């Protein structure tokens, strides 16, 4: 892609992708912008504008060809460019993410889960083994890991982030409700659940 | 608040709030916009602009008074206006959310967790009892529930959403990777984890 696509558009395109996957499962060949807009309770014109950013939208007389539109979203958002990740923290949240089936459909490959709890080490979650946190640096290096998904409790988040930085991890997807201090060459994405909720509930 | 605050600003304000909570725990009285901006790797001017939207920012000679700035964010974003929620689905994700300690700090009160798994019903998560899904309509009515947090697997998401709509739930915070079809008087907020991740990894 040459043009930068905004965060809001990326978010909507993944929702369109979700709808298109359902249509494919139901063997439906065509979809209109109006059908998409009604499912998401947004404007039809917004859907058409978002889709116009794609290289080949599969536009046809009756709307869009489901398979072509889906492929185009995947290419544009780079689903076919696999990113390798590991999960740090095998608690409920880490386990939920490891079980969140469709990450691989979006190009996210989770290679390992790490924890320091001896009771958990060796167990398998969704085909992925829980490993000792102290084997993380070697595993990250060997597997050329891009992203660490941080799901430890808030009070351990900073020390674990320091450990990830020392292990040469460059991207941290942080689920802990804690602002992390990291060097400039490390990027943190805060999965700020409260912020997300407040965007929703602000007007309730 | 009279002015509408954008989603991005709400998101940043909750991160500032997170930093301010840490400062209070460490008994630090003052904070500068520069300190906040450095922790989040954003522009100092952005922080000052966001804070200028608050009614009383606690601005002083050396920056901001931590406690006043924190209070002001809480008032502006309505943390003191409690919203009542219930969790639907007591799997790993539902459990993780029930254990996510600081929701109450932000005005979200989780009153009950529901599941249809007889093995889970009656167990306690973080002080909240798992109840039979069939008792949901009565519990939602009795407790004047605002929000249902939907954490069931994708294949059960639509049928569960239908059940929530029939139970007169008006706001659904949907964690399932599935676009839900609901009537116009029900609002769905899709916690689109893949969309969030792609905003982050789009340029990796």
What pLDDT is stored for residue B4 in this prediction? Answer: 77
Q: Which of A84, A176, A60 is nearest to A139 (CA)?
A: A84
pLDDT band at B3 (very low <50, low <70, confident <90, very high): low
Question: How far, in Å, are B90, B113, B118, B128 from residue B121 at the CA level?
Answer: 9, 9, 5, 11
Q: How many helices (H) and strands (E) does chain A have?
A: 8, 10
Tell me the two tokens of residue A4: 């930068």
Assembly ipTM: 0.84
Is the pLDDT assigned to residue B2 strictly greater than 60? no
Cα B182 from Cα B157, distance rounded (Å): 11
Q: Do domains A7-76 and A83-196 have the same CATH topology?
A: no
> Taking the alpha carbons of A91, A89, B147, B77 in that order, is the dihedral positive or negative?
positive
- Asked if the C-beta of A18 comes within 8 angstroms of chain B's C-beta atoms, the answer is yes
pTM for the full predicted model: 0.87
pLDDT digits (tens, 9 = 90+) for B124-140: 999 999 999 999 999 99
The least confident of B74-78, B82-86, B102-106 is B102-106
Q: What is the DSSP letter of A28?
A: -
Q: Would the CB atoms of A201 and B146 count as touching at under 8 Å? A: yes
CATH of domain B83-196: 3.40.50.720
Residue A145 forms contact with B (CB below 8 Å):
no
Tell me the mean pLDDT in the region B75-84: 87
Nearest CB partner across the interface for B200, out of A22, A100, A189: A189
Say how far residue B201 (Cα) sits from the centre of its chain: 23
Copy the structure tokens of residue A108. Answer: 């996210």
pLDDT in tens, chain A (204 residues): 446 788 889 989 999 999 999 999 999 999 999 999 999 999 999 999 999 999 888 888 889 999 999 999 999 988 888 899 999 999 999 999 998 867 887 888 999 999 999 999 999 999 999 999 999 999 999 999 989 999 999 899 999 999 999 999 999 999 998 899 999 999 999 888 878 888 787 777
Closest CA of chain B from A197, distance in Å = 8
Q: Where are the domains of chain B?
A: 7-76, 83-196
Q: Residue B203 pLDDT > 80, yes or no? A: no
The interface residues of chain B toward chain A in range 61-100, judged by CB-CB distance below 8 A, are: 77-78, 83, 91-93, 95-97, 99-100
Rounded to 10°, the helix B44-52/B33-40 angle is 120
User: Measured between alpha carbons, how far is A36 from A43 in angstroms, rounded to an integer?
Assistant: 9
Position B1 pLDDT exceeds 70: no
Q: Label the pairing between strands B124-125 and B128-132.
A: antiparallel
CATH of B7-76, one of 1.10.357.10, 3.20.20.140, 3.40.47.10, 1.10.10.10: 1.10.10.10
């Amino acid at each position: 892609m040459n043009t930068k696509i905004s965060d809001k558009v990326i978010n909507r395109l993944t929702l369109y992708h979700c709808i298109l996957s359902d249509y494919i499962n139901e063997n439906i060949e065509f979809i209109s912008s109006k059908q998409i807009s009604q499912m998401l309770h947004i404007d039809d014109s917004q859907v058409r504008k978002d889709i116009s950013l794609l290289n080949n939208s599969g536009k046809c007389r009756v709307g869009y060809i489901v398979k072509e539109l889906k492929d185009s979203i995947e290419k544009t958002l780079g689903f076919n460019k696999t990113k390798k990740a590991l999960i740090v923290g095998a608690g409920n949240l880490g386990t939920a993410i490891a079980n969140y089936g469709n990450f691989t459909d979006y190009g996210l490959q989770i290679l390992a889960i790490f924890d320091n709890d001896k009771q958990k080490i060796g167990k398998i979650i969704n085909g992925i083994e829980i490993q000792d946190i102290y084997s993380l640096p070697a595993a990250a290096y060997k597997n050329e890991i891009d992203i660490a998904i941080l799901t430890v409790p808030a009070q351990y988040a900073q020390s674990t982030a320091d450990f990830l930085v020392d292990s040469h991890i460059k991207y941290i997807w942080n689920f802990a409700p804690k602002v992390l201090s990291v060097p400039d060459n490390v990027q943190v994405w805060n999965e700020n659940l409260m912020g997300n909720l407040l965007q929703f509930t602000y007007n309730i």
